[in-house]
């Protein structure tokens, strides 16, 4: 019996990594009008982005219900000494709220819900590190403590091709100030204090990629690194290879933003997530 790690589909954690580490992923929901899909289960990334770009209906998202969490907690608790449930920033989604409500119920083991204050592979890197600690035999309490300490060691930046989808999805937040000057400008946003926050603007995509690279360089040594993208796989793969060479991080992950985040990011978004040493 060991500590079980749960995250949600906004982590964009590749399924192969989740399977290898024993991480359970709870899907959010994506809605096209009255049609509801479980993120990455009922709708693929390719199918989603095609509908997002070409379809007449702009999709919305919904967090998992408390009952969704209760079902998973109940099942996993029977073979665990504890469950740590790590989720997207509570400032960006109601997912943590559903998890907290569910955790109030009684299960066969204790359940700890952690607000990552992050998103995409920022969240994913925390889940990976937590699962690695658990699989190495660290105690439930130790995994909780170290996971919470990791939150402030996570950095996420994203280059957006447009802020249109962030605005349509109602997640524009502090980036609203950029909307009036976005003609032919590529915004770079970062996750800070659990929110998407404007960092700078690039005159074109090439300069935007240079900025992302510069952010990583300034971090110095990192424990883990990931490149995320929505629709530009070749660009993401090339950027990942570049970062492997410049940082020496040969275990760098490449992850695609799934439908739940793609609703807000839109086509052409690319980003990087890093976890620096504690």
CATH code: domain of residue 6: 3.40.50.10170
> Could you report the per-residue pLDDT of 24-58, keeping only the tens digit for each?
999 999 999 999 999 999 999 999 999 999 999 99
Residue 180 is predicted with a pLDDT of 44
Same domain, 269 and 157: yes
Least confident of 41-55, 168-182, 232-246: 168-182
Mean pLDDT of 212-228: 96
CATH of the domain at 185: 3.30.1180.10
Q: Give the pair of three-digit tokens for residue 162.
A: 């447009």
Same domain, 16 and 68: yes
Within a domain: residue 21?
Answer: yes
Tallying the residues shown for the chain, one arrives at 278
Cα separation, 78 vs 73, whole angstroms: 9
Residue 170 is predicted with a pLDDT of 58
Q: Give the pair of three-digit tokens for residue 77.
A: 């608790």
Whether pLDDT at 181 is above 60: no
Whether pLDDT at 271 is above 70: yes
65: left (phi over 0), alpha (psi -120 to 50) or beta: beta
Find the domain containing 189 and state its range. Answer: 153-275
Please answer whether residues 123 and 92 qualify as being in contact, where contact means their C-beta atoms are separated by less than 8 angstroms. no
Residue 201 is predicted with a pLDDT of 87
Within a domain: residue 50?
Answer: no
Mean pLDDT of 70-87: 97
Residue 120 is predicted with a pLDDT of 98
Mean pLDDT of 258-271: 96
Same domain, 126 and 167: no
- The pTM (predicted TM-score) of the whole model is 0.94
Cα separation, 121 vs 105, whole angstroms: 29
Same domain, 140 and 264: no
Among candidates 129, 153, 162, which has minimal Cα distance to 221?
153
Least confident of 130-139, 168-177, 256-265: 168-177
- The overall average pLDDT reported for the chain is 93
Residue 70 is predicted with a pLDDT of 98
The confidence band for 118, taking pLDDT boundaries of 50, 70 and 90, is: very high
Mean pLDDT of 174-201: 75
Asked which of 117, 151, 185 is the last residue of a domain, the reply is 151
Element (H, E) at 119: none
Residue 164 is predicted with a pLDDT of 82
- Count up the domains in the chain and report the number: 2
Query: How many helices (H) and strands (E) are present in the chain, helices listed first?
Result: 10, 13
Mean pLDDT of 163-192: 68
Mean pLDDT of 219-225: 95
Asked which of 151, 180, 211 is the last residue of a domain, the reply is 151
Same domain, 22 and 86: yes
Same domain, 159 and 211: yes
Whether pLDDT at 169 is above 50: yes
Within a domain: residue 49?
Answer: no
Same domain, 146 and 187: no
Going by the DSSP 8-state scheme, the letter that residue 230 receives in this structure is: S
The confidence band for 185, taking pLDDT boundaries of 50, 70 and 90, is: confident
């Amino acid at each position: 019996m060991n500590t079980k790690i749960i995250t949600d589909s906004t982590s964009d954690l590749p399924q192969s990594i989740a399977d290898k580490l024993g991480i359970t992923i709870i899907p959010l929901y994506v809605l096209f009008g009255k049609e509801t899909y479980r993120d990455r289960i009922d709708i693929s990334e390719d199918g989603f982005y095609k509908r997002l770009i070409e379809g007449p209906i702009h999709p919305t998202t919904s967090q998992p219900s408390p009952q969704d969490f209760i079902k998973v907690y109940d099942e996993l608790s029977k073979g665990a000494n504890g469950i740590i449930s790590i989720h997207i920033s509570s400032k960006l989604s109601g997912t943590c709220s559903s998890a907290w409500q569910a955790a109030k119920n009684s299960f066969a083991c204790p359940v700890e819900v952690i607000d990552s204050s992050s998103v995409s592979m920022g969240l994913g890197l925390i889940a990976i590190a937590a699962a690695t600690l658990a699989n190495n035999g660290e105690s439930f309490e130790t995994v909780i403590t170290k996971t919470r300490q990791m939150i402030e060691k996570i950095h996420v930046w994203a280059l957006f091709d447009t802020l249109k989808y962030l605005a349509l999805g109602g997640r524009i937040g502090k980036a609203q100030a950029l909307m009036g000057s976005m003609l032919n400008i590529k915004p770079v946003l970062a996750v800070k204090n659990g929110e998407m926050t404007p960092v700078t603007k690039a005159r074109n995509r090439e300069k935007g990629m240079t900025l992302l690279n510069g952010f990583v360089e300034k971090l110095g040594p990192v424990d883990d690194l990931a490149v995320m993208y929505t629709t530009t796989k070749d660009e993401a793969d090339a950027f990942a290879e570049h970062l492997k060479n410049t940082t020496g991080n040969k275990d760098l992950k490449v992850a695609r933003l799934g439908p739940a985040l793609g609703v807000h990011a839109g086509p052409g978004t690319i980003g990087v997530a890093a976890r620096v040493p504690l």
